[in-house]
Amino acid sequence: MRDDNSPASDVSPGANQGQQETTHFGFKQVDASQKASLVAGVFDSVAAKYDVMNDMMSMGIHRLWKRYTLDCSGVRAGQHVLDLAGGTGDLAAKFSKMVGATGKVVLADINDSMLKVGRDKLRDKGLVSNLEYVQANAEALPFPDNSFDCITIAFGLRNVTDKDKALASMFRVLKPGGRLLVLEFSKPTNDTFSKVYDWYSFHILPKMGQAIANDSESYQYLAESIRMHPDQETLKSMMENVGFDQVTYHNMTGGIVALHRGFKF
């Protein structure tokens, strides 16, 4: 098992020459080339019940975490926003209103099932004019350099195989003066709270997944992937290493979630 404070890179070279690179998938070590398809399997399985499960698991607090992300985005009318790993489009829907008719929001996700659920949901809300949908890998974003005023990735970075590569790719497509917002599960700041949170994550969460989405394994992966994700300071260093300036983070709900913010100048 990888320690939370281990070096930032997710991908480890094989011990012997000729061995394939490995990475973590929850608590398991898998070939780096396999992680994307394994993650895709998880999200294919949970896509239909994703919103319901988010509300159940977080008791609705995920909406407030996302609200804070929007408040920190500084997005104005006419700007271009990339909502990476945008899933079912919670942030994209709000951004669509914020940028108005003269702006543009790109909802990108590597997973086709999630993208379809998001697209259907936003169209049902009547949001069509300034939204585009792109199936894209965060490690190799298919956009020109300096394209977006703001990029958000909410609860998506921990599923990316090579996070450094993904952050570098985001830095490339961000306009100078633009900002990246990473909303992600993190490390609780209080030890007692952390133990309660661990118990909830490994005992309650999979049971809720089984009861509601008939899929305990995916939610077991969710709990494990949260533990394997870099803590607040490590992620901050990773963002600084790829070139982001003025990187700060803000803990929410005792550090269960942190919002990292970095600028490209």
The yes or no reply on residue 125 touching another protein (CB under 8 A) is no
**Using CB under 8 A, which of 3, 15, 18, 71 touches another protein?**
71
The yes or no reply on residue 94 touching another protein (CB under 8 A) is yes
The yes or no reply on residue 41 touching another protein (CB under 8 A) is no
**Using CB under 8 A, which of 8, 72, 208, 212 touches another protein?**
72
d(CA 127, CA 228): 36
C-alpha 141, offset from chain centre = 15
The yes or no reply on residue 67 touching another protein (CB under 8 A) is yes
The yes or no reply on residue 68 touching another protein (CB under 8 A) is yes
Q: Which is nearer to another protein, 27 or 68 (CB)?
A: 68
Q: How far is the CB of 246 from another protein (least distance, A)?
A: 9
The residues near 198 (Cβ < 8 Å, ≥ 6 apart) are none
Which range touches another protein (CB under 8 A), out of 60-68, 157-165, 222-230, 235-243? Answer: 60-68
**Using CB under 8 A, which of 14, 20, 78, 101 touches another protein?**
101
What is the CB-side half-sphere exposure of residue 66 using CA atoms within 13 A? 20
The yes or no reply on residue 64 touching another protein (CB under 8 A) is yes
d(CA 40, CA 76): 33
Q: Position of tokens 């969460």?
A: 205
Which range touches another protein (CB under 8 A), out of 4-12, 30-38, 68-76, 108-116? Answer: 68-76
Q: Which is nearer to another protein, 58 or 216 (CB)?
A: 58
The yes or no reply on residue 56 touching another protein (CB under 8 A) is no
Q: How far is the CB of 80 from another protein (least distance, A)?
A: 16
Q: How far is the CB of 100 from another protein (least distance, A)?
A: 6
The yes or no reply on residue 196 touching another protein (CB under 8 A) is no
Q: How far is the CB of 97 from another protein (least distance, A)?
A: 6
**CB-neighbour burial class of residue 56 (10 A; exposed 0-12, middle 13-18, buried 19+):** middle
Binding site for another protein (CB under 8 A): 61, 63-65, 67-68, 70-72, 74, 76-77, 94, 97-98, 100-101, 252-253
